[in-house]
Each structure stands twice: as structure tokens, then as C-alpha cells.
A and B are shown apart, each in its own frame.
Chain A
Amino acid sequence: MNEVYIASDNIITSLGFTTEGNCTEIKKGAIGITLIDDPKLEPNKFYASVIDSEILRSKFSHIDDPDKFTRFEQLAILSINDALNKTSIDVKKNDTLFILSTTKGNIDVLEKENFLKYGENRLFLHETAKLIRQYFGNPNTPMVISNACISGVLAIIAGSMMIRSRRYKNVVITGADILSKFVVSGFQSFQSLSSTPCKPFDKTRDGLSIGEGCATIVLTSNKNIANNPQIIVGKGSSSNDANHISGPSRTGEGLYQSIKKTIGDLPAGKIDFISAHGTATPYNDEMEAIAFTRAGLENVPVNSFKGYFGHTLGAAGIIESVLSIYSLKNNILFGTAGFSELGVSSKINIIDRTSEKELSSCLKTASGFGGCNASVIFHKI
């Protein structure tokens, strides 16, 4: 069977425009979530992680005309451009597939000004994905996954499947979602936004902080162009709670089933840490704690990255996987920003501060609306 190696990656959030830049800030304990006062987004003030528009425009203008591309497209193109600059892969050949993971894509094109500027077609996710792969000269029909907040983890699983079955040699996976009036008002209507920067797994957590972000991960079957130290994508799977479309399962059923399929016979001691979904809503974090405990992983160190740059929706699974891969490569266990006292009923092992530790494998999990759950393992070899 083909192994699936990580060739390169990129992360763009409020904390930086590269993987290295984001990790440097996270190591310092920087938090990108701030109080936003912008009536164009939401009548009331709210906490969110926002990418500076001027910096984005200036960075993008080094590679192309920012007026030709939406904010979403600029983020995706910048992210892919940076990741591809760090590998020798020629994406113009037909042995590379592009995958886009997003919940809402160019949803801000529904706003009149953007609609008139960019046109209705940009609202279709397949059109957005086509525009992006054409920008890089890739000849293949792109794969688009829009499966709520597990989209990113599912995209890594699907991309790995395409390499293992030898249909493609390389897969360029990009996850992105932007902050928009649409998304902010929606989460606000659910009353799920936190009144402070979010506090995953904490006793005083009261909701999520929304964030915008983008990340790219390049997978390859070619060991010679893999990152050093080499990280491979292990097993991955998804499961549905079959319980409620917006509320997490009280028993953690879907997440538990997904983790069991993903880890199989692997003993808990062989998993060095879990990068949880950890949105900081009361029900989500409780559900995850129950699922980890049911899967026998209650002692495995767990972190959530949401306290640094919020919940980045369709980008979250990719951003957080890239950070976990950085952890494995550099033997750094990242702490959970916003966490101070355990506030879930199962005694799980939340990592509160960043520290150095020898690491060789990580379980990444995600859960989302629609009762969906997914998990994937990364190993250092």
C-alpha cells in the first residue's frame, strides 16, 4: 500500500500568513480573538478572529491583482502559493488533485456590492474551486467537500484515499472560510457566541469565538519530497450521531464510533496527544470528553486551538492538522488558550501550557452540525 506523506503546508489566520508565523505566535501564547465593533457584520459587538484586510491585500498584490479575486479566493490562492513554493511538485501535471474544503466559500457574494462586482457564479463552490485550480494551471476537476465543521478532516481522509489507491501522486488540500455577516448573524442567532475570547473545556466556557482562516496541506506518495522529519497520514474515518441536526450527542456516539474505527487496535499509550475540536460551547466540549473517555483515551493529553484564532469552520480541520503536524515534527505540545479549570464531567487530560515533549503520533478529531464526526491519525516515522 502507498504511504501518504506530508510534502508541505501553510496556515493563514489572524496570527500570521505562514505555518511558522502562526506557530511562533502560538508558542508566545498570543491570542488573535478581539472584540469586533463593525455594524456591517453584526449590530452588536462580538469576539472574533479576523485577518487584517490591508495586510491581506498587500500580500496578495505581490502575486496578483487583488481586485480580480474575492477575499476567500485571495486567502486560498495565497495559502496554496506559499505551500507550493516549498515543494518541487509540478501541479500542472495531471497526477495532482486539488481539494477544496469549505462550509460557505464566497458567501459574502450574496451581499449586493460583492454580487455586482463578482457575479452570481462565484457563489457556486465548484466554480470557486475551478477558479483556484485554474489559477495554478492544474488540469483535473477539483474535489469539493462541504460537510460542516468536519470538512477539513474529511478532506485529508479523502485526499489520502486518492493517493493510497494510486489515482493521484499528489493532492493539494485547501480549507478556507471567511467571516461574513451571514455566518456571524447565524451563530449569533443560535446564541452560541462567547462573551469573551472562547475557553475550550473550561469551567466558565460559554460559547465559541468565530474565526476566519485558511490552510493548505500537500500530500504525496513520493517519499523523496516528503517533509523532514517525515509525517504520514494514518487511518481516518467518519460517523454520524443519528441523533440531532444541531445538538451534539449526549453520549458522544458518533465521535466515539469514528475514533474506534480510526485507532483500531492501537493502544491509548501509542497516541501522544489529541487535537480536539474543542469549540468551547458547553455541549460540544462535554460530548467530546465523554467520547474520549468511552474510547479509553481519558489520560491522553488533549488540546484545542480554538482559543488562539477561534472556530474557522471548513478551514479548522486543515489548520489544526497542520499545527498538529508541526507539533510532531518539532516535539512541541501546544497548550489550550483560554483553559484554566476543567469544566467537563469526564476527567480528561487537557494540556494547559505549551511544553516540549518527544512526540510520534497524534489523533485529530472534529464534529459538526448534521451530527457528523471525523477523526484521523498522523504518525512521525
Chain B
Amino acid sequence: MKEQLIIKSVCKIRDNKIFLDDELLFHNDEAENPSAFMKNAYKNFQVNYPKFFKMDNLSKLGFLAAEILINKSNVLPLNSEETGIVIANSSSSLDTDNAFNDTIKNSENYFPSPAVFVYTLPNIMIGEICIRHKITGENILFISEKFDPELIYYYVSDLFESGKIQHCITGWVDLLSDKYEAVLYFVEKDKGGKNGNSIFEPRKIVQLFS
């Protein structure tokens, strides 16, 4: 029989609010833009990781969601080689692509920066999470028009079934100019006896976004 997979802890960041398992942990309604909001969230949670300020906004968003998910919920310890990260979004790295393009579009004002260029790949966000939490397991970044629960369900289930992972951080991290949304959650094998966790299936995954 296939082992049951469960959803354990979900972190949501949107509309200037951060939730962990439906509990509002932080809100900053006055923040003018995603960048200001995330900076204030970083301070609020006393993250102490100066590299955060070098990241682009997409990476900051994914980083914060993973940070809260891993540090504030009781899922540790993670086995670094057997933890997978499977993230999808709609806008790829288009937010930073636009920023990089601004530095090359005029020949009079041409100054391409490697520090910006490196973030013109959406999976850099996954790399940042891996570095912070020493996670070396399976990685993939999908692009979908909107969150596709079946894609994530099938892909993550197959990773578990093939024995490649024991834990998975998965979900949606999307950001384009002032629009953003992150919903990251843990999936692991059901060890039994714990009520209250949702079964990992497309129907339940959809509910995480409500």
C-alpha cells in the first residue's frame, strides 16, 4: 500500500500579511510596496541574515516564507539530502528581468550588473533557500499560468514514491512589481496518530490558497 502523505504547516504571505497555519504572525498595512513590506518582516522576525538584502524581491519572498515555515513550525530536523524543494510560479523572474533590461536598453546608460543578472533565473530563489537551510535534495521550478494543484501533487508524490525524498517544501512563490503571493508548505509521510493534518491531495492543496 502506498504511504499516505500529509500537509504539515503552511506559510502564506500576501496583502502585507504573513500567516502560519492560519495564524496571523505579522502584518504591515502601511508598507508602500513588497520590498518595504519584506524588509519590515525581516526585522520583525529578527532573521539576522545579511545576504537577504542582496536578494531580488522574488528570492526575498521565497526566503521569508521558507524561513517562517522551517523556524516557526515544529517540523525539524530536516535531513538535508532527503528534503526536496518543488516551487511553481507564473511570472518566472520577470520582475528582475525588467530591472536588468533597464540597465542595458540605452547605449548611453549601459551598465549590466552581474549582481542583478544572476537573479534573472527563478530557481535562484530555491538556491537561496537551500543555502540558508543546507538543503541539498531534489529541486525543480515550474512555471504555470495559475497554481496547478495536480501538477504539484503528481510530481511531489512521485518523488516520495521513488524514495528520493522524505520531506518536501512545496508551493507557489510569485512576484511581479507590486503583485505577490507566497504559499509554501511541508509535505511528509504520515507517521500516524496525529490528527489535524491534511492529506496531501489536489482538493486539500487548493484549500491552502483560500
- Give residues in A with beta carbon < 8 Å to B: 43, 103-105, 107, 110-112, 123-127, 129-130, 141, 143-148, 154, 158, 161-162, 164-165, 167, 181-182, 185-191, 237-246, 253-254, 257, 261, 368-372
Contact = CB atoms under 8 A, between A and B. Distances in A.
B52 to A, nearest CB: 13
B187 interface: no
B97 A107 contact: yes
B143 A126 contact: yes
B127 A146 contact: no
Contacts of A254: 136
Interface residues of B, number: 51
Contacts of A243: 131
B135 interface: yes
A144 B148 CA distance: 12
B118 A146 contact: no
Contacts, number: 156
B71 interface: no
B79 to A, nearest CB: 12
Given A126-B145, A245-B127, A372-B139, A186 B134 contact: no
A147 B127 CA distance: 10
Contacts of A158: 140, 155
> 10 nearest interchain CB pairs?
A370-B127, A186-B117, A144-B143, A189-B112, A240-B130, A185-B112, A242-B130, A370-B123, A125-B143, A126-B145
Contacts of A124: 90-92, 94, 143, 145
Given A147-B126, A241-B136, A370-B124, 8 more contacts: A103-B121, A104-B97, A107-B97, A124-B145, A187-B117, A191-B114, A239-B138, A242-B134
A372 B127 contact: yes
Contacts of A371: 127, 130-131
Contact of B142 (A145, A148, A191, A245): A145
Contacts of B128: 245
27 contacts: A103-B121, A107-B97, A123-B97, A125-B92, A126-B90, A126-B144, A129-B143, A141-B151, A147-B123, A147-B126, A148-B121, A165-B158, A182-B100, A182-B104, A186-B100, A189-B114, A190-B117, A238-B140, A239-B139, A240-B127, A240-B139, A241-B130, A242-B80, A245-B131, A253-B136, A371-B130, A372-B127
Contacts of B137: 239-240
B164 interface: yes
B126 A240 contact: yes
B33 interface: no
A154 B118 contact: no
B117 A261 contact: no
Nearest to A111: B105
